[in-house]
Structure 1
Amino acid sequence: MKGGNVEKGKQIFMKQCSRCHSVDPKACHGMGPNLHGVVGRQAGSIPGFHFSSAFEKSTLVWDPENLSSYLQNPRKHIPSNNMPYCCLEDPEDRRNIIAFLQAGSK
């Protein structure tokens, strides 16, 4: 997956994701796991967060393609997960959020 605007991704993240997730490496988990360093990490593997059994059983690694598919439809990508959010339909918005998450992982 190519492209993505980090600043636009940050804006979308702050509006739609930050209620439940943080990207601050020093922050505790919120309702959802902290997403700092999520790109390249195995799903359900971050210490200190209680993941659903769907995530605990997953062997998925969060690369840009998996993140995009998950953000497009979380319940379809990982059935029975607990994330209440559904569906970031716009592929450009997904690219931008992923660019933001990748930039924060460096």
Structure 2
Amino acid sequence: MLKWVVAAGCLLAMPAVASAQDAEAGKKLWNKCAPCHAIGPGAKNKVGPELNGLLGRPAASVEGFAYSDALKKSGITWDDEKLHKWLENPKALVPGTKMLFPGVKDETQRDDIIAYIESFKADGSN
């Protein structure tokens, strides 16, 4: 019985995943990002940089895009955590950024958008 109590306690102590990321739902939510960013085959910079292969890439590293000094100096390498904070409130993560987007307040929506972005490799394939 003690083993079951210990096992249950360990399970409760583990961090829970709030929701599974859903790239298909993220594709629909991408409409919030599409006016400024492109992703996928043939993506080009728009008002914002193209986002193919974003995760693991240093911030302000897409050639040909004029980033703010704040983002250039941020030292950020995009991972789930940083992208989550960015999508929630870009100006809070990087004060002085040029990005005018107010953010996505819903955590599940951010998860889904990130899943969609993560589905694209640097060459735009997925």
Structure 1 equivalent of residue 97 of structure 2: 81
Structure 2 equivalent of residue 31 of structure 1: 47
Q: Percent identity among equivalent residues?
A: 34
SS in structure 2 of the partner of residue 104 of structure 1: coil
How many residue pairs get aligned? The number is: 105
Give, in angstroms, the shift of residue 8 of structure 1.
Answer: 0.4
Contact kept, 8 Å, 1:67 with 1:98, in 2: the verdict is yes
Q: CA RMSD in A?
A: 1.4
Q: Which runs of 5+ in 2 are unaligned?
A: 1-16
Give, in angstroms, the shift of residue 25 of structure 1.
Answer: 4.1
Q: TM-score, normalised by structure 1?
A: 0.93
Q: Name which of 14, 21, 29 aligns with 1:4.
A: 21
AA in 2 matched with 1:32 = G
Aligned: 1:96 with 2:112: yes
State how far apart, in whole Å, the 1-side matches of 2:64 and 2:20 are. 32
Aligned: 1:72 with 2:91: no
Contact kept, 8 Å, 1:43 with 1:61, in 2: the verdict is yes
State how far apart, in whole Å, the 1-side matches of 2:41 and 2:84 are. 22
AA in 2 matched with 1:9 = G
Pairing of 1:7-22 with structure 2 (within 5 A): 7-13=24-30, 15-22=31-38
Give, in angstroms, the shift of residue 45 of structure 1.
Answer: 1.0
Q: Which runs of 5+ in 1 are unaligned?
A: none
Q: TM-score, normalised by structure 2?
A: 0.79
Q: Name which of 70, 78, 88 aligns with 1:54.
A: 70
Larger radius of gyration: 2
